[in-house]
Chain A
Amino acid sequence: EPEVTQTPSHQVTQMGQEVILRCVPISNHLYFYWYRQILGQKVEFLVSFYNNEISEKSEIFDDQFSVERPDGSNFTLKIRSTKLEDSAMYFCASSEGYNEQFFGPGTRLTVL
């Protein structure tokens, strides 16, 4: 059964460093998303991406964040200069249309 994959499973970085979180969505899906979950808090929407551009983004998704689909398979989330409060579990998701979103297992980002 096709699934969304994410790498790495755990990323540790120093404050101020850039990180790139990687996702491989399901191959025939056209919509891609990033969510995050700070420990003990709700899963929060960050951004959705369709047709090589951002379609929606939340207030959390500020200029420090960017997304890219560099090739036909990967979908990445970049944080330019990480802050302590960026520590969270980051989930990638994909969907065929405006229906079920399929989630990856997440990347746990720890900023020291």
Chain B
Amino acid sequence: AQSVTQLDSHVSVSEGTPVLLRCNYSSSYSPSLFWYVQHPNKGLQLLLKYTSAATLVKGINGFEAEFKKSETSFHLTKPSAHMSDAAEYFCVVSDRYSGYSTLTFGKGTMLLVSP
């Protein structure tokens, strides 16, 4: 069975400082990994995805994530936080066993950005 652990429920940063949101996954089969973001009263928006191509994945709004199989991690980073990045972030996995149609979500990390 696949699962995702987001190690921090809340992360606070100052505007202009780096962002690191941590995610570890468990999957018995070839996983696809995603980061979704949810702004208040909005739907879930895909930031980036890993699907067995390059291990360093670049997404929208300056975010990127690195797939590390040896560490079963897929941490999300951004060099410099912006106030508009404040939102909830979800790490998500799907795998070949589930037919890649079933997404398994982490509990989410709330990113707080202060001026």
Contacts and interface: CB of A to CB of B under 8 A. Distances in A.
Contacts of A56: 98-99, 101-102
Given A43-B105, A44-B105, A45-B103, A103 B44 contact: yes
Nearest to B101: A48
Nearest to A98: B100
Given A42-B106, A43-B105, A98-B100, 6 more contacts: A31-B101, A45-B104, A100-B46, A101-B103, A102-B43, A103-B43
Interface of A: 3-4, 31, 33, 35, 41-45, 48, 55-56, 58, 91, 93, 98-106
Contacts, number: 53
Interface of B: 34, 36, 41-46, 49, 51, 90, 98-108
Contacts of A93: 44
B43 A104 contact: yes
Closest A-B pairs by Cβ, 9 of them: A103-B44, A43-B105, A98-B100, A103-B43, A105-B43, A48-B101, A45-B102, A104-B43, A42-B105
15 contacts: A33-B103, A35-B103, A42-B108, A43-B105, A43-B108, A44-B105, A45-B104, A48-B102, A98-B99, A98-B101, A99-B51, A102-B43, A103-B36, A103-B45, A105-B42
A91 B44 contact: yes
A78 to B, nearest CB: 21
Contacts of A35: 103, 105
